[in-house]
């Protein structure tokens, strides 16, 4: 069977399975793995060229870790406070220890014990973010606690990946560990130094979305390729992460992430389909009982650990329970690390199958736990509230960012609107695709985000779903219609003001739910008429001129 047919068949089956699991409120990853299970069960793995597909999926893993690096905001960890850091590090240490004890009790030995424990330690960022986004709880206190813990877990997973890559014995010349570590540190330092130059490069390319996309793709894969060379001694995955980390401080990182996500998702489909197919290649069903034991550890013991640590840190029972329940699954990172460990020969295919089965079951069940966390909490509230610390708690420290104004486009008209909003002491977030505008606004202390507001990442960063008013000065009809539909879908109570170039388009926008449509020609004519009608000396025009010159910074 040709490569094209193999890829097409795998993607079609993955799409069908993802469509089916979506009815069960499950993440699409579950559908991809189930598609692989079907392929493996019926013995079509070899016919579909899955070995070659698995090689292609390494591109997806590199892009996955590249985007994780882009999202790695160390400032958010600094702002998280000692409580969430205490929860994150405490959870990882205790869960890893419990995982090793359970794996040893199940009869596993050596490196297999460590990899099973690692898989149980990390939780799924994709699952948690997806469900919390749907529930509009990303900005809630328990949502922020969960995301901070997940960020720490992602960082720990990358470190574990680097250590595993350094410790494995490859073919060829065997370098002393000290030299391997030194080469790796030099490479990391070089990539991090390049991060000082990246903002200037991205600002230069930022006016073209195509150039931003091409640069992001070339940079991510290029650094990943260099990291995997024998004289560097790291892995493709670590290289991808470092490449993303180098760009994380740029204004354009959200847009790069949004542009590369579809390509990453395509290759990730191949990875998880191949992972599911491999379960039957390594007699995975023989590991079903150990997999169930690990699943219980992840679904029950890990949330209990998080709840007890959160309660000890001073959070209320409800907050501790919600955040702990969200972390009860095996992470996609655990699957990635286990798959790489198998290719390195450090664990058997059976251990990978065990971790994959545990991931499927835990993701499936925990999705319902998170969705119905309020109902579950009400059943155990009396018991859970006994663990609350009396007196002070950490919940008063958190404030939600809401009720603000999102301004899309801050050129001449947008700048006038921004100044008017600032005079009213409104809290404003600006979204623009011009890097020069973003840089200038940031120097003025304005919260500004580079990107397209139609992208979910940019929309989430701007807090569109929590805003009281959304204004767009961009007169493109498609952009305006999309923004109206998005605001009406995710934040129905917000006022939305958009721009249009014609009266007929404005009528369509009003029909879609716009509260006001800016028609520059109509508005301009009205302003001129008002200015010239004020007095014979045309003082209105002079006042209008002075105001315009201020906006143009003349």
Q: Are 311 and 320 in contact (CB under 8 A)?
A: yes
Domain with CATH 1.20.1530.10 in the chain: 61-387
* The model's pTM: 0.64
Helix (H) or strand (E) segment spanning residue 405 = strand 405-408
Q: Are 133 and 313 in contact (CB under 8 A)?
A: no
CATH architecture, domain 61-387: Up-down Bundle (1.20)
Residue of 104, 126, 124 lying closest to 113 (CA atoms): 104
The beta strands (E) that lie in 444-540 are given as 447-450, 469-472, 495-499, 516-518
Distance CA 15, CA 54 (A): 18
- In the numeric block, which tokens belong to residue 258? 């949004």
* CATH 3.40.50.720, applies to 405-518: yes
Residue 545 pLDDT: 58
Residue 81, CA atoms < 13 Å, CB-side half-sphere: 15
Q: Name all contacts of 10-15 with Cβ < 8 Å and 24+ positions apart.
A: 10/35, 10/39, 10/48, 10/50, 10/53, 10/269, 10/270, 10/273, 11/266, 11/269, 11/270, 13/38, 13/39, 13/273, 14/269, 14/272, 14/273
Q: Are 462 and 406 in contact (CB under 8 A)?
A: yes
- In the numeric block, which tokens belong to residue 125? 């960022």
- In the numeric block, which tokens belong to residue 120? 């149980």
CA distances from 145 to 84, 166, 226, 325, 369 (A): 6, 32, 36, 12, 17
Collect all residues with Cβ–Cβ distance below 8 Å to 99 and sequence separation of at least 6.
116, 117, 118, 119, 120, 121, 294, 297
Residue 281 pLDDT: 66
Name residues of the chain where pLDDT drops below 50. 169-177, 396-399, 551, 554
Helix (H) or strand (E) segment spanning residue 130 = helix 125-134
- 376-423 confidence digits (pLDDT tens): 988 888 888 888 776 555 554 444 567 899 999 887 778 888 888 888
Distance CA 42, CA 60 (A): 26
Q: Any idea what the Cα angle at residue 41 is, between residues 39 and 42, rounded to 5°?
A: 70
Residue 521 pLDDT: 66
Residue 314 pLDDT: 82
Q: Are 55 and 271 in contact (CB under 8 A)?
A: no
Residue 554 pLDDT: 38
How many CB atoms are closer than 10 A to CB 349? 15
Chain Cα centroid distance, residue 443? 27
């Amino acid at each position: 069977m040709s490569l094209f047919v193999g890829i097409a068949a795998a993607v079609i089956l993955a799409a069908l399975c993802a469509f089916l699991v979506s009815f069960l409120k499950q993440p699409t990853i579950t559908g991809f793995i189930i598609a692989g299970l079907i392929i493996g069960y019926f013995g079509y793995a070899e016919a579909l060229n899955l070995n070659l597909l698995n090689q292609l999926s390494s591109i997806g893993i590199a892009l996955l870790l590249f985007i994780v690096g882009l999202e790695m905001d160390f400032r958010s960890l600094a702002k998280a406070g000692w409580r969430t850091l205490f929860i994150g590090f405490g959870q990882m240490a205790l869960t890893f220890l419990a995982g090793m004890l359970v794996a040893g009790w199940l009869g596993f030995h050596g490196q297999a014990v460590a990899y099973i424990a690692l898989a149980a330690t990390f939780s799924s960022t994709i699952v948690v973010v997806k469900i919390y986004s749907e529930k509009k709880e990303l900005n809630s206190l328990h949502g922020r606690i969960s995301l901070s813990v997940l960020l720490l877990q992602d960082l720990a997973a990358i470190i574990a990946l680097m250590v595993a890559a350094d410790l494995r014995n490859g073919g060829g010349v065997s370098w002393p560990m000290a030299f391997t570590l030194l080469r790796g540190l030099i490479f990391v330092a070089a990539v991090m130094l390049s991060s000082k130059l990246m903002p200037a490069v991205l600002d230069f390319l930022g006016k073209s979305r195509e150039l931003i996309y091409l640069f992001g793709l070339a940079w991510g894969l290029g650094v990943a390729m260099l990291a995997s060379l024998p004289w560097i001694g790291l892995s493709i995955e670590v290289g991808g992460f470092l490449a993303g980390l180098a760009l994380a401080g740029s204004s354009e990182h959200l847009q790069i992430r949004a542009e590369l996500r579809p390509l990453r998702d395509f290759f990730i489909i191949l990875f998880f389909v191949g992972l599911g197919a491999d379960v039957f290649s390594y007699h995975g069903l023989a590991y079903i009982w150990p997999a169930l034991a690990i699943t219980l550890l992840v679904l029950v013991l890990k949330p209990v650990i998080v709840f007890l640590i959160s309660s000890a840190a001073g959070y209320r029972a409800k907050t501790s329970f919600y955040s702990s329940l969200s972390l009860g699954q095996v992470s996609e990172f655990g699957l990635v690390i286990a798959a790489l460990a198998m290719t390195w020969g450090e664990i058997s295919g059976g251990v990978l199958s065990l971790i994959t089965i545990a991931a499927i079951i835990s993701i499936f069940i925990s999705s319902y736990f998170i969705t119905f966390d309020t109902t579950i909490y009400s059943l155990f509230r009396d018991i859970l509230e006994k663990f609350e610390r009396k007196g002070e708690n950490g919940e008063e420290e958190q404030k939600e960012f809401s009720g603000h104004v999102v301004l899309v486009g801050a050129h001449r008209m947008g700048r006038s609107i921004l100044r008017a909003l600032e005079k009213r002491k409104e809290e404003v977030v600006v979204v623009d695709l011009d890097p020069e505008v973003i840089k200038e606004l940031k120097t003025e202390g304005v919260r500004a985000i580079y990107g397209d507001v139609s992208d979910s990442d940019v929309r989430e960063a701007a807090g569109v779903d929590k805003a009281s008013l959304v204004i767009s000065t961009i007169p493109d009809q498609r952009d305006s219609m999309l923004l109206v539909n998005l605001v009406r879908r995710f934040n129905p109570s917000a006022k939305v003001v958009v721009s249009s170039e014609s009266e007929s388009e404005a009528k369509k926008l009003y029909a879609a739910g716009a509260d006001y449509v800016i028609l520059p020609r109509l508005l301009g004519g009205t302003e001129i008429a008002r200015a010239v009608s004020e007095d014979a000396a045309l003082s209105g025009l002079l006042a209008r001129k002075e105001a315009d010159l201020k906006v143009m910074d003349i």
